[in-house]
Amino acid sequence: MYEICEIIKINDREFVVSKNRTVLTDQNIIHVIVEGEQTDEIARAQKIVNKQLFELVDGQTCFLIDLNKSGKNSPEARSTWNELSAHDKIKKAAVFGLNPVVRVIASFVIGFSVKKNQRFFKTEEEASAWLMEE
């Protein structure tokens, strides 16, 4: 049986997994602030949180993912992120961060994504603007 790291529920729309904070905004965008290295346990717990937030949204939702403080992802975590990115509830995913290493990793993951609805941006403002486009 897999271990799942602790999930802290702040309220129905906000969770903390390890150092990651996930919030369903008033615009029904799932905003994830990623901090530190991402293990398989963290990714599996994040998947549970995301599925709970999907239940609160009618139709599809978008992800806004902040990688400014992110560390490395384990291969298992990358696999979980790819699996999650293919979920039918996800309309778009905008990833942003200024760390050049993170940009390379994110571009690699996005390049192998099943869906081509993901883009990488340098800033949160650019990422948010893209999510608001139809």
Provide long-range contacts, Cβ within 8 A and 24+ apart, for 78-84.
78/109, 80/40, 80/43, 80/44, 80/46, 80/47, 81/43, 81/109, 82/109, 82/112, 82/113, 82/114, 83/47, 84/46, 84/47, 84/50
Residue pLDDT, tens place only, 104-121 = 666 655 554 555 688 888
79 part of a folded domain: yes
85 part of a folded domain: yes
Model pTM? 0.87
41 part of a folded domain: yes
**Total count of domains within the chain:** 1
78 part of a folded domain: yes
39 part of a folded domain: yes
What pLDDT is recorded for position 75?
87
- In this structure, the chain runs to a length of 134
What pLDDT is recorded for position 8?
96
What pLDDT is recorded for position 11?
98
- Least Cα distance to 120 among 16, 130, 60 occurs for 130
CA max distance for the chain:
42
Alpha-carbon Rg for the chain, nearest whole angstrom, is 14
2 part of a folded domain: no
Q: Domain of residue 104: give its range.
A: 7-132
What pLDDT is recorded for position 56?
97
Residue type, 96: F
CATH code of the domain in which 75 resides: 3.30.750.24
CA angle 48, 51, 52 (to 5 degrees): 90
What pLDDT is recorded for position 3?
62
What pLDDT is recorded for position 34?
93
Positions in the chain short of pLDDT 70: 1-3, 100-116, 134
